[in-house]
Structure formats: C-alpha cells, structure tokens
Amino acid sequence: MKFIADEHIPPAFVTALRGEGYDVTTVGDVLDLGSDDESILAYAREENRVVLSADTDFWGADPTLDLTDHPGVLACNVNAPPGDIAAAVRQLDAMSSDLTDTVIFIPSHWV
C-alpha cells in the first residue's frame, strides 16, 4: 500500500508509516503546497496512492469533488498518537490492500 499525505497530516504520521516500511509521499514532495483537492486526487489515481487526509472534503463535505474511482482515503484524526495511525494502517493492510473508492476513518475508535 502506497500513500500520499495531504499537507495537514502531521509529519510524525508520515515518519511512523515510513518506519513501518510504507511508501509515503507528501503533497509538498510531489505537488505544490496549497494544491487543490482535485489535483491531489488526480495524483493519487495516477500513482495508485491512498490519500491520508484530515480534510473533510475528502470525506464528502465538498459535493463538487469527484470521489469516484480513487485508490482510497484514510481520514485521519490528527490528534491521535502516530503509533495508533501506524497500527490502524497495519491492520487495514493485513485485511485488504485494496481500498478502492473507500473512505476509512483511522484510528477507528475516534469515530
């Protein structure tokens, strides 16, 4: 499973996931900071990367954002400990590496 972290994801989450061996890039690495959500989704689709985001637009709050045919969105609680995020991703990855067109809140106990 590969990821793109939007700019609101804490760097500690990226570090924790990389420490687990996951391929994580950030918006600032591959796109301009401040890139619109559609550009982030286009990159995610092109590179088959699951979006890590705390932005509710990726969860359906923006009705104009096309959330069809994407590799998945992990809606992150930015107040969670980085280890909890990494553990949630490990559990998801063990269950299924295909998150196509899904939005999953992690860690799940915060919903």
The pLDDT profile of the chain, 111 residues, written as one tens digit per residue, is 999 999 999 999 999 999 999 999 999 999 999 999 999 999 999 999 999 999 888 877 778 887 888 899 999 999 999 999 999 999 999 988 789 988 888 987 543
pLDDT at position 71 is 93
Domain count across the chain:
1
From 63, 61, 70, select the one nearest 41 (Cα to Cα): 70
Q: The domain spanning residue 94 has which CATH number? A: 3.40.50
DSSP assigned state of 69: S
Position 59 scores a pLDDT of: 77
Q: Which two tokens stand for residue 6?
A: 């939007």
Q: Cβ(74)–Cβ(57) under 8 Å? A: no
What pLDDT sits at residue 111? 38
What is the pLDDT, as a whole number, of residue 86?
95
